[in-house]
Amino acid sequence: MIKYFDKLLLSLSEIENHPILLVHALSGCQLRCFHCLNRSELIEKYHDRYYTIHDVIDYAKKQSLLFDYIVFSGGEFLLSSLDDLISDLTILRQEVKKPVIVYTNGIAFEKVVELHQRGLVDGFHVDMKLPFHLLTSEDFDLAELTLGIPLRDMSIPQRILQTLEYIISVDQGLNRIRSVRYPFLGPEAFAENRLWVEAMNRQYGRHVPYDVHSFIYNTNEEVAPSFQLARHP
Ligand code: SF4
C-alpha cells in the first residue's frame, strides 16, 4: 500500500496556466540531492498519519473543479512497488477523470515504461540534474555531490538518461524535462542540457519543453564547493 502525505495541495504555480492537485507519496527516495527541500518533512520523518489512494480520490472528486491535473511527487513516487503503483493509478483512473502527471528523478526506467504503456500516466516530469550525456569518470565528484549518494559507476546517470530519452520519444504533450540551477553548475551545463533535449526532440519529432528552475538553499545544509564539468574546463 502506498502512503500519501495527509496534506494535499492545490497549486497554481507548479505548471504554467494549469492549477494542479499535488499529492506527495511517502515512499522515500534513492537520492540525497544537494539541498533537497523535501528531505526532512517528506523523506526522513516518520508519519503515523497518512492518506491512502481512497482519501486522495475522495478529495480529488470534491475539489475537481479547482484543478486540471493530478500530480504525484515525493520523495520519489516511483520507488513504490510496480504492483502498488498500478493498483493505485488504476483505481484513480476509474474514479477521477483528470490527466495524471508524475514527477520523477528518472531512475525507475522500467516503471516509467510500464505505466506509460498501460496508459496510467499522461505525463512524466523528469529531472535532468546534470548533462548526463557528457559525464565521464572524471565527473564522479560532481555527480556524487549533485545526487548526494556514492556512485560505483555511471549506471544511475545512464538510467536517468534512458528515461529522459524515452519520455521524449513517446510524448503526447504533457511530458517535461527540468533542471535546477545548482550553484556549482555554470550556464554551459544548462545550455548542454537544452541542446540535448532539442536534439532528441528533433530525432523523435516531439516538442518536450525544457525548463531551468531556480535553486533554493535548504538552510540546514552546507554550502557547495565549486565544480566544473570535466569537458568544460
Ligand atoms: S530526487 Fe527529488 S526528492 Fe529525491 S533527493 Fe533528489 S530532490 Fe529530493
CA 169/CA 203 separation, integer angstroms: 8
Average pLDDT over residues 150-155: 90
Q: Give the per-residue pLDDT at 233.
A: 40
Does residue 16 carry a pLDDT above 80?
A: yes
Characterize the bridge pairing of strands 176-180 and 69-73: unpaired
Distance between CA 146 and CA 185 in Å, rounded? 10
Q: Which atom of ligand 1 is nearest to the CA of 105?
A: 1
pLDDT by residue (tens digit) across 128-152?
999 999 998 888 899 999 999 999 8
Q: How far is the CA of 65 from the centre of ligand 1 (A)?
A: 30
CATH superfamily to which 9-213 belongs: Aldolase class I (3.20.20.70)
Residues lining ligand 1, Cβ inside 6 A: 29, 31-33, 36, 38-39, 74-76, 105
User: Which residue's alpha carbon is at the smallest distance from atom 6 of ligand 1?
Assistant: 33
Distances (CA, A) of 38 to 33, 41, 71, 149, 223: 10, 6, 16, 16, 17
The atom of ligand 1 lying closest to the CA of 30 is 4
Between 39 and 76, where is the model more confident? 76
Strands 123-127 vs 18-24: parallel, antiparallel or unpaired? unpaired
pTM > 0.95: no
Atom of ligand 1 minimally distant from the CA of 75: 3
